Amino acid sequence: MLNGAGRRFWVARPFGIPLHFEEKRRKNMTAASHEFMDIRQEIAGIPVVELARQFGTPTFVYDGRLIQRRINDLRVFDTIRYAQKANSNLAVLDLVRREGVLVDAVSAGEVGRAKAAGYVPGGEPPAIVYTADIFDREALDLVVAEGIHVNCGSPDMIAQYGERAPGGEITLRINPGFGHGHSQKTNTGGEQSKHGIWHDQVAECLALASRYDLKIAGLHMHIGSGTDLEHLSQVCGALERVALEIGATIKAISAGGGLPTPYRVSDVRVDIDAYFQLWNATRSRLQDAFGHAVHLEIEPGRYLVAESGYLVAEIRAVKRMGGNTFYLLDAGFNNLARPILYGAYHPMSIAAADGATTLERQAVVVGGPLCESGDIFTQSDGGFVGSRELPRAKVGDYLVIECAGAYGFAMGSNYNSKPLAAEVLITPSGTPHLARRRQSFDDLIRGESIPG
């Protein structure tokens, strides 16, 4: 904005965004509106029908080139650290590792996955960071034995780690007292969230760290998944205040994750440049205060992989129930739980088995095969069943649930004794690779036994 003398001045916006950032954000977000097709013939250049016939259904298909594109969006940050809980398939982990992305793990199993994908513990910055609110016994043993850097989300973690590995470095995950996400269930800040160390417990944590000769070398905040730039920007000031309280031992700060992903035509992309500038300004002030360089990380999960993923399912029944028409698929919430958990919206498209591309539209309810009334993909938060305008389809056609690369397979289950789906990565060179075979019946009952 210009004052009477024709000079630019900053006006504080809600959530602390300078006016020129806000103006730029609105301009960029309008230009970045997303488009989705309701008829889909191919995924990453491979015909949907061909993928379905080769690998069966339901199958998750991931576009490796799109993952690369999202990584490139974030290269302005010093380090990109992938929150693998979004999608921990080894082929995906290997792809992001080859792109220079480091990894976050929230369990001993995720540490094992990272190592299996080629990550080596250690390094500066550390290749693998263990982030959690507790240590189960297996995880504590593992991080101590492997020398894995830990991001402590509770004072008890500091004490438990200090008893086993005194004299090391740790990061603290701080709950700033506020949070925001696309659903209350994905809100990871505030007093109703279990995540992080409460912001007024920093002095207690400093005393604990001192008792075990631990150096607090990093600081991390994450307020929720699917939030927006306004709420994300609040984290900068909150983290800066805590960092100044801790002092010059801080050598790395993490912006966390939570970057939104477009699922609807009306959704818009976050302005990464504006977001980085906010964090870079915070980092610069801390460097001035501490007299040394401060490393700036970002920790995306969904942002890197959501748009790359497609759940390809076959329509197995088309039925009328009063005024509703249902498309019933061979995929259910055992494959993609986000709609039943959060009322999450996913774009959908039809791939006709005969290749037809001129189809009339009709309002349909899309559901799965499970013996559960909530097995509906077109529901809103609270379980209210809705419909979607989709092309007319018949049994044997394919329905593709899009933007399903994050928290899809990773949250899958064997409910109704359904096997876990297959996963296919279309490599950046355009080759479909079976990244995980579909479970067999023997896989389903492996480990079970009947008493003699």
Q: How many CB atoms lie within 10 A of CB 83?
A: 26
Written in H, E and C, the secondary structure of 310-332 is EEEEEEEEEEEECCEEEEEECCC
Distance CA 199, CA 177 (A): 7
Length of the chain, please?
452
- What secondary structure letter does DSSP report for 386? -
The tokens describing 406, both together, are 């994050």
The tokens describing 341, both together, are 């958990």
Distance set, CA 228 to CA 179, 208, 259, 344, 351 (Å): 11, 34, 7, 16, 33
- What secondary structure letter does DSSP report for 382? T
Angle in degrees, 0-180, between the axes of helices 108-116 and 137-146, rounded to the nearest 10: 40
* 16 closest CA partner among 231, 177, 189, 182: 231
Is residue 371 flagged as an active site residue? Answer: yes
Distance set, CA 155 to CA 23, 40, 132 (Å): 41, 50, 12
Among candidate residues 152, 205, 236, 371, the one labeled active-site is 371
* 2 closest CA partner among 17, 19, 16: 19
Q: How many CB atoms lie within 10 A of CB 74?
A: 19
Q: Please identify every residue annotated as catalytic.
A: 371
